[in-house]
Amino acid sequence: MDSGSQSLIFSIIVAISFVVAVSISFVPANFSPLVLVLAVISFSAALVAYATKDYFFLIRALPYMKNNIAVIDDTDPYYLAPNGSAILVRKGDTVYATAFIKVPSNSSATEMDDEQKYNFALLFGRLVSISKTPMRISSQLHSINKDEYIAKVTARLNDSEARYNTLQSDSKADPKALERVKGEVTMWRNMLDNVSRTNSQDIEVYASVTAVGNSEDEATNLVAIKADEAAAGISATLGITATVAQGNEILTYIEPDYMIPPATIGEVMKYQATRG
């Protein structure tokens, strides 16, 4: 309902409150119960009139209540773009498109000294200057499927060990490169040792950008340009490969059901039962 209709309803309720309040003065003194009833009606109407200013969307839903369920808005809050690269929200003739950029983290704080941690934190401070348009940088911490995670860590460890053995057997290998790969082996080995003893969690870091258009295609194309620019800037700043999320990957950042897989829920419940 538009603001004009809301103002009209507000005026009508205020008028009712005023008329009822004035009518109290015409009630004979021996009709005190009627005065009390009219006073309550006037006060209630004034209260409803005041509430319509900020809470009209709730009052409007009351007549449509059925079985204690109030439907305030029956439209979807967002929907996926046809190419699966963004989510779209339509407000009248305007379309808002939001794309998400995955920011992988290849460093472990457990293997950093204080200076390295400080320098790593400064890199994220530089991200605010890589885009001329507003960009949101967020992170979420959630439990993960241990079996899948252990398999990934084991694969990374095997790959690091293979590269380390290859460099170690090469007499012309760069000592700095050998030391760096050795650090990777140590990091993955420590992670593999710790993962089976703790409630494993994973942090997802991501950025999001939004574009506005008059149609779905226009908004999607504009946000794709912004997302590619942001991904390139993040990759250059952090020395990683940031990519634009596609399809169901986007739901990882906006839908809790995709953040927590069913296998993990059982793992968390089992962990809580052993502690309790």
Q: Are residues 97 and 133 in the same domain?
A: yes
Q: Are residues 232 and 135 in the same domain?
A: yes
Confidence of residue 152 (pLDDT cuts 50, 70, 90): confident
Q: Are residues 219 and 257 in the same domain?
A: yes
Task: Output the pLDDT for position 220.
Answer: 93
Over the stretch 236-276, which tens digit does the pLDDT of each residue have? 877 788 899 998 888 878 876 555 554 455 555 554 555 44
72 assigned to some structural domain = no
Q: Are residues 42 and 93 in the same domain?
A: no
Supply angle C-alpha 48, 52, 57, rounded to 5.
Answer: 120
Task: Output the pLDDT for position 167.
Answer: 83
Q: Are residues 134 and 248 in the same domain?
A: yes
Counted domains in the chain: 2
Q: Are residues 10 and 140 in the same domain?
A: no
**140 vs 187, residue with greater confidence:** 187
Supply angle C-alpha 110, 114, 119, rounded to 5.
Answer: 100
184 assigned to some structural domain = no
Helix axes 3-23, 32-61, angle to 10 degrees: 170
Domain hosting residue 127, numbered range: 79-144+200-275
Which letter does DSSP use for residue 191 in this model?
Answer: H
Over the stretch 184-198, which tens digit does the pLDDT of each residue have? 888 888 888 877 666
- The pair of structure tokens assigned to 10 is 């507000």
Q: Are residues 268 and 206 in the same domain?
A: yes
